[in-house]
Amino acid sequence: MPIGEAVEGTTGDVWTSYRTRERILLAAGCIASYWIFSAIGRLFSIPRFMGYEGSLMAQPSAIFALLVAGVVLLGCVVLTSLFAGLVEFEGGLFCATFGLVALSTHSGPMRYVMMYSPGNGIFFRLIFEAIVLFFFVAVGWYALMVLRGRELLRPERHIDGAHDTIPAQGFMALAATVVIMIILMALLAQSDKKAQVIWAVGISSFLAALAAHSVFPTRPSAWYWAAPLVVAVIGYALAWSGWNHLPGGVVGGYAAPLGRPLLLDYASVGVAGALFGYWTSRRWQIAEHDPETPDEVEEALEHPVPAP
């Protein structure tokens, strides 16, 4: 089969995996979160100069900027879960992290962070920013479990063969997602231009989670959406240790593609892309297990799968 037909077929399968109602709910949640982040960012001047200072740690009050981003993220998780949670358990987290794109698009590329932060200490601050931001993402995910425990949010649908109690399976899924994402980032992130790095991170995280879950179908989704954090830390750590900073603020070195995106890119489209890949793989596997023939339907009614 030609590559073009294979890509077109895969894209069609991804699109048809979601009903029109589900697409509308997710789109509404993403738009709402984007607008909220955009409004709050302008209100508190995050970033201070539009088109520059893309790191929250580069703001005049870095801790305040991180707290604002974290609180707004948690608020968007709870708010959008009211309707996006009807699509998937992590629907609210998907929409909230996508909303972070607003802060990234209001900021400039990584080169301006490098230019206005001389010395390789900026990479240490970026690693700290990664840990703090993904802590808030983890808290948002925990909030979903609290909502589920209070029966305000429905749980994931069970899939035969999907494990959630074997740590080794989860670590293998995480490692596979990280490795695949690094390879794809090396191919796609050829510059620090805003549009390119956003698409590079989003596509890489989506395909990496999709492929990794197809091989290691484990739960929960944290094993997959945590991968962008690991990739970001690896990229910034390599740039920090090798001081791969070229004239004009350009990130260089053999691991440059991993250091070109802002941390906001990893935390936004990185997490959202990984969740989307995880959902898509699960939906394909559920479709494979859905009863089709009359005998299979009768068997499913007589022996229903217990809820997770």
DSSP letter assigned to residue 99: H
What's the pLDDT at 6?
Answer: 38
- Residues 254, 187 contacting (CB under 8 angstroms): no
Low-confidence ranges of the chain (pLDDT < 50): 1-9, 161, 290-308
Mean pLDDT estimate for the chain: 83
pLDDT of residue 247: 52
8-state DSSP, 307: P
| Partners of 163 in the β-ladder | 218
Report residue 264 as tokens: 């906001």
Q: For 181, list phi and psi in degrees, rounded to 5.
A: -65, -40
Tell me the C-alpha distance between 156 and 279, whole Å.
10
* Beta-carbon contacts of residue 163 (< 8 Å; ≥ 6 apart): 169, 217, 218, 219
Q: 215: which 2 tokens? A: 């091989």
Q: For 75-90, how does the pLDDT look when each residue is reduced to its tens digit (9 = 90+)?
A: 999 999 999 999 999 9
- What does the alpha-carbon distance between residue 230 and residue 90 come to, in Å, rounded to a whole number? 20
Give the tokens for residue 157: 């649908």
With CA atoms as reference, report the closest residue to 185 among 201, 170, 171, 174.
Answer: 201
pLDDT at residue number 297: 39
Residues 6+ away with beta carbon under 8 Å from 281? 209, 210, 213, 214, 217
Distance between CA 12 and CA 256 in Å, rounded? 33
Distance CA 172, CA 130 (A): 22
pLDDT given for residue 143 in this prediction: 94
The answer to whether the peptide bond before residue 47 is cis (omega within 30 degrees of 0) is yes
Sort 254 into a burial class: Cβ within 10 Å, 0-12 / 13-18 / 19+: exposed
Tokens standing for 152? 């305000």
Show the DSSP H helices in 120-193 as ranges. Answer: 121-149, 167-188
Residue 159 pLDDT = 57
Distance from chain centroid for Cα 276? 8
Q: Nearest-CA neighbor of 189 among 201, 180, 205?
A: 201
Tokens 């892309």 appear where? 273
Neighbouring CB atoms inside 10 A of 179's CB total: 15
How many CB atoms are closer than 10 A to CB 201? 33
* Helix or strand (DSSP H, E) at 40: helix 20-43
Tokens describing residue 68 = 């604002």
Whether 71 and 65 have beta carbons less than 8 Å apart is answered as no
Query: Domain locations in the chain?
Result: 18-291
- The token pair at 53 is 């200072």
Q: Do residues 182 and 234 touch, judged by C-beta distance below 8 A?
A: yes
